[in-house]
Amino acid sequence: MKRGYIDTPEGQIHYRTEGSGEPLLLLHKAGLSSDEYTEMLAFLGKKYKVVAMDVLGYGNTDLPKPEPKFDDYVNNILHFMAAMKIKKANLLGHLLGSSFAVEIAATHPEMVKKLILWDAIYLTPEVRKDTQAEYAEEKVVLKMDGSHLVDVWKSRGPKPGINLELVQRSAVEYLKSGLGAGAGASHRALFSFDPEPKFPKIKCPTLQMYGSGGALFDRQSAITKLIPDCQTKVLENTGSFPFWEKAEEISTVITDFLQK
């Protein structure tokens, strides 16, 4: 795996890359960074030129001012692709990244060969409105006794049986997003976006993936019906950090889909 930076109009973007050949661009979930795909790069890089970027405000990519809106994030991804000389790519997005991927596939079909979505976000208008209010303010407030670090730890969902090293890895990535400022900005942008009118405009072959029992499980079947050329793969016993926990299994499913 190699790491690098590249200039865009919004600033320098940090990325991880592996392999050669047809491009596969990976967009991470909110609260993490391109590190979410570190384990998968080794597997996907055997057949593709895989690039995982830190979107604005995450990992080693700075959050620009003023706070970016949804379209600003999408435009930055397009600028990143242009800077990396990627004219057309397979696109994989997880949660936050899935919404960016949906928008790009719907509005720039010439740039997306195939689309893979993990836990694509599709909320009812009522839930989306409530979620917007919930994330109106999101930032870690420093406290003298360090209890703010405990709050971040608890927000990562530690529970009996979970891999605590992955919980810590997730907490560190969240803190790197400007003590939550990057996460807050992206959440506010994310929940301003209504994907429903975009799904029918996606014309490329699409693979929708999610873990059974996930937070968005009940809404995923509706997405499959809205995207014209969409198939679904449900993975059983998938935990909170699927791409860290089941990198090889998920990479195999993705590779099989892309090679058909």
Torsion-angle region of residue 204: left (phi > 0), alpha (psi -120 to 50) or beta?
A: beta
Give the closest residue to 73 by CA, choosing from 93, 48, 45, 88: 93
Contacts of 198 (CB under 8 A, 6+ apart): 102, 103, 106, 107
Domain edges within the chain: 2-123+193-259
DSSP 139-160: -PPP-TTSHHHHHHHHHT---T
| Three-class SS state of 14 | strand
In angstroms, the CA 15 to CA 59 distance is 9
User: In this predicted structure, what is the pLDDT of residue 215?
Assistant: 61
User: In this predicted structure, what is the pLDDT of residue 216?
Assistant: 65
In angstroms, the CA 83 to CA 130 distance is 37
| Contact status, residue 53 vs residue 13, Cβ threshold 8 Å | yes
| Contact status, residue 224 vs residue 208, Cβ threshold 8 Å | yes
Structure tokens at 38: 């570190």
User: In this predicted structure, what is the pLDDT of residue 214?
Assistant: 62
User: In this predicted structure, what is the pLDDT of residue 25?
Assistant: 99
| Three-class SS state of 51 | strand
How many other β-carbons are positioned within 10 Å of the β-carbon of residue 228? Answer: 13
Torsion-angle region of residue 183: left (phi > 0), alpha (psi -120 to 50) or beta?
A: alpha
Superfamily for 2-123+193-259? Alpha/Beta hydrolase fold, catalytic domain (3.40.50.1820)
Rg of the chain over all Cα atoms, to the nearest angstrom: 17
Using N-to-C axis directions, what is the helix angle for 181-190 and 96-107, rounded to 10°? Answer: 50
Sequential pLDDT tens for the chain (260 residues): 999 999 999 999 999 999 999 999 999 999 999 999 999 999 999 999 999 999 999 999 999 999 999 999 999 999 999 999 999 999 999 999 999 999 999 999 999 999 999 999 999 889 888 888 888 888 888 999 999 999 999 999 888 888 999 999 999 999 999 988 999 999 999 999 999 999 999 999 999 998 876 666 668 888 999 999 999 999 988 878 999 999 999 999 999 999 98
User: In this predicted structure, what is the pLDDT of residue 237?
Assistant: 82
